[in-house]
Amino acid sequence: MDNKIDFNRLRKFKKKYPISYLAVFGSYSRNEQKKDSDLVYPLN
């Protein structure tokens, strides 16, 4: 797992581009939630 999030770079990016940070992180967390719901409801 070498695709871990680099939190220092993320923080700098967040300061520079708060809007795109929110867009990227929002879509990322939505995808994570989708994966979780797939695990919870495999029949759907």
Is 39:33 a contact under the CB 8 Å cutoff? no
pLDDT, tens digit (0-9, with 9 covering 90-100), for 1-36? 455 767 788 788 778 887 777 777 777 767 666 666
pTM (global) more than 0.75: no
Residue 37 — very low, low, confident or very high, per pLDDT cuts 50/70/90? low
What are the residue boundaries of the structural domains of the chain, listed by start? 8-40
Task: Count CB atoms within 10 A of the CB of residue 20.
Answer: 11
- Cβ neighbors of 14 (< 8 A, separation 6 or more) are 21
